[in-house]
Chains A and B, each alone.
Chain A
Amino acid sequence: ELKVEQNPLFLSMQEGKNYTIYCNYSTTSDRLYWYRQDPGKSLESLFVLLSNGAVKQEGRLMASLDTKARLSTLHITAAVHDLSATYFCAGTFRGSEKLVFGKGMKLTVNP
């Protein structure tokens, strides 16, 4: 069974701090995605990672992919309150188009 596991599932941090969240998956991925979801809202695409060693940055968020370790990370730099949301990683595997999601990490950034 394909599995995408995120940790931690809950994170409370202070503004200005840095943190890395992790996404492990159980088999070779085709593509790895990061999404953000605000309460009661839809999913906003943050990053799509296609190949080993891919690194993408947008503002205070940076995502990377290590296909050999089957690991993606989302690094938060100098967190601000507006980053408070739930962050999902998801992957596509074995030529399938369906996204397999992790359970999500609920981030709270305290002023």
Chain B
Amino acid sequence: NAGVMQNPRHLVRRRGQEARLRCSPMKGHSHVYWYRQLPEEGLKFMVYLQKENIIDESGMPKERFSAEFPKEGPSILRIQQVVRGDSAAYFCASSSRGGAAGSYEQYFGPGTRLTVT
């Protein structure tokens, strides 16, 4: 049973370009979460999605960032017109609510490390 998959693992973009980060949740999971980790910092929540729905986007910057989780295919985190401050590691996690012992555990992917030059 494959874990959470993210691609690309490393992404380099020039300022002003667009970045697209993909996340495929674990098999059977329908809940996806995106987190951002700045160097030497903890993870910060960005957005929580279910299939075709955004449940909580309270951590998303108001501009340039968007996320989707279509009925078919991976979840996408899209960053338009990237700036140097967007350089970070972006982690996706997935869960199956009501899973083992009702713990709602989130399983993390390997992350995408975005560098903006």
A88 & B43 in contact (Cβ 8 Å cutoff): yes
Which chain A residues lie closer than 8 Å to B107 at the CB level? 45
- For chain A, give the interface size range: 20 to 34
Can you report 5 A-B residue pairs in the complex whose CB atoms are below 8 A from each other? A35-B108, A98-B45, A99-B43, A99-B106, A102-B42
Give A44 Cβ to nearest chain B Cβ, in Å. 8
B91 & A48 in contact (Cβ 8 Å cutoff): no
B105 within 8 A of A: yes
Given known A48-B105, A92-B104, contact A42–B44 (CB-CB < 8 A): no
State the B residues within 8 Å of A (CB): 31, 33, 35, 41-45, 48, 55-56, 58-59, 91, 93, 95, 97, 101-111
Q: How many A-B residue pairs have CB under 8 A?
A: 60
Please name the residue on chain A nearest to B110 by beta carbon.
A42
State the A residues within 8 Å of B (CB): 4, 31, 33, 35, 41-45, 48, 50, 88, 90, 92, 96-104
Which chain A residues lie closer than 8 Å to B44 at the CB level? 101
Which chain B residues lie closer than 8 Å to A45 at the CB level? 105-108
B58 & A43 in contact (Cβ 8 Å cutoff): no
A96 & B109 in contact (Cβ 8 Å cutoff): no
Interface centre among A41, A50, A88, A98 (most CB of B within 10 A): A98
In the bound complex, CA of A92 to CA of B104 (Å): 10
A100 & B111 in contact (Cβ 8 Å cutoff): no
Among A31, A41, A50, A104, the residue within 8 A (CB) of B42 is A104
Those 8 A-B pairs whose CB atoms lie nearest each other, nearest first: A101-B42, A98-B45, A43-B108, A48-B103, A101-B43, A103-B42, A42-B110, A42-B108
